Amino acid sequence: MAISTIDHLMVRIDEAEYDSPIAVFKPPRATPGLLEGVFGATLETRRCIKEGKKGGALFVGCFHKEMNRNKTLSTLLAAAE
């Protein structure tokens, strides 16, 4: 996983295809404004999504460029508080 700022995640999401979204997780004891993003289409990530967590990080959602950008940003900002 890559711990990233919301701005960096949005750049990745803006390029992500429907078939290869970015899965976002909130790490335990996360620094405000930082979340973890990984490719959402891998078998390992799909397993973590199904469980709702990856290690101690809680699943926030999967996002791609065809989704409403404002809703995606709002979701990420709320999760990163």
Report the percentage of the chain scoring pLDDT > 70: 99
| 33 confidence band (pLDDT: 50, 70, 90) | very high
Give 72's contacts (C-beta < 8 A, 6+ positions apart).
10, 13, 63
- Give 73 or 81, the one with higher predicted confidence: 73
Identity at 81, one-letter amino acid code? E
Tens digits of residue pLDDT in 1-22: 589 999 999 999 999 999 999 9
As a 3-state breakdown, the chain gives helix, strand, coil percent values, each rounded to 5, of 35, 30, 30
| 51 confidence band (pLDDT: 50, 70, 90) | confident
* Full-model pTM: 0.90
Distance in angstroms (rounded) separating the CA atoms of residues 12 and 39: 10
Residue spans per domain, the chain: 2-79
Distance in angstroms (rounded) separating the CA atoms of residues 37 and 13: 9
Distance in angstroms (rounded) separating the CA atoms of residues 31 and 16: 25
